[in-house]
Amino acid sequence: MKDYKKRIIGSLIALIVLVGLIKLVSDYYSIPFYTYPNFGIKIPPGNKRIGIDVSHHQDKINWKQVSEMRDLGKKVDFVFMKATQGNYLTDNQFSRNWSEAKDYNIKRGAYLFFDPRRNGKSQAQYFIRKAKLKKGDFAPVIDFEDLYGVHPEKARKRFIACAKLLKRHYGIEPILYTYSDFYRTNLTEDFEKYPLWIAHYKSYGKPRIDHDYCIWQFSDRGRMNGIKGNVDFNVSDLSESELNKLRIGLE
């Protein structure tokens, strides 16, 4: 009889857990993304701003066409572009992209693709020399998404050294770009102070991360007039004033 009761209790516990999991999965997949036919993707609801990020992979961009494109009333509100990689490479489209995005009044930002095999300060110094951010531009972004075989603790120290120098130079905390699994696995509470731009590609559901984020890169399959091939799409639910807090000299 006791074994029977234990089995009944065990079955009830298993049923409760199963119901909870079903509800969790149901909630996760029930977010009604909205289809934008011209952008060629579904965009999460409730986000006030749409942005893209680009590099040499998009080749030569027609920024006039980018600035003029609309889909169901939505337009590109901001763009981030690759500036440097480590302390040894400048994106070959950066100078042109940087200049022309400004010509068409698109809020712009630049990112450093972080190489944890290299000295953090030297990467920041290289970025500062090449990117030349001004008042009104977004805070510098550090793209940290691969350890390249470096021990996580050493990689974190080099990142922090890079971030400290960028903050000292621009007077604003740099933005951290990474993806959900990398953040959970390799980063610590020391990284919670950085505004977070999170990459998470799913047809439905928000990023699986216990951390506030200011920008969500949700697709690498978007389409944009003036850009050949696919382009990354991002959203932000920040208001204009909140977004300005991420821009140099506008806090």
- 115 and 9 fall within a common domain: no
The active-site residue out of 68, 100, 145, 251 is: 145
State the chain's maximal CA–CA distance in angstroms: 80
- Residue 80 shares a structural domain with residue 114: yes
Structural domain contains residue 167: yes
Q: Are residues 109 and 95 in the same domain?
A: yes
Give the mean model confidence (pLDDT) for residues 176-196: 94
Same domain, 22 and 100: no
Q: Which domain holds residue 22?
A: 1-30
Q: What is the pLDDT of residue 102?
A: 95
**Residue 249 lies inside a defined structural domain of this protein:** no
CA distance 197 to 205: 16
Whichever domain contains 200, its CATH number is 3.20.20.80
| Summary mean pLDDT of the chain | 89
Question: Which one is predicted more confidently, 227 or 27?
Answer: 227
Strand partners, 142: 112, 176
* Same domain, yes or no: 210 and 171: yes
Q: Domain total for the chain?
A: 2
- Amino acid identity, residue 114? F
Whole-number pLDDT of residue 132: 92
pLDDT of residue 20: 47
- Confirm whether 240 is a catalytic residue: no
Q: Can you list the positions of beta strands (E) in 78-151?
A: 78-85, 89-90, 107-113, 141-143
pLDDT recorded at residue 203: 56
As a whole number, mean pLDDT of residues 115-142 equals 97
**Predicted confidence (pLDDT) at residue 211 exceeds the cutoff of 70:** yes
**181 and 202 together in one domain:** yes
Query: What percent of the chain shows pLDDT beyond 70?
Result: 85
Listed in sequence order, the DSSP H helices in the chain are 2-29, 63-68, 94-103, 120-131, 152-170, 180-186, 240-244
Cα–Cα dist 11/9, whole Å? 5
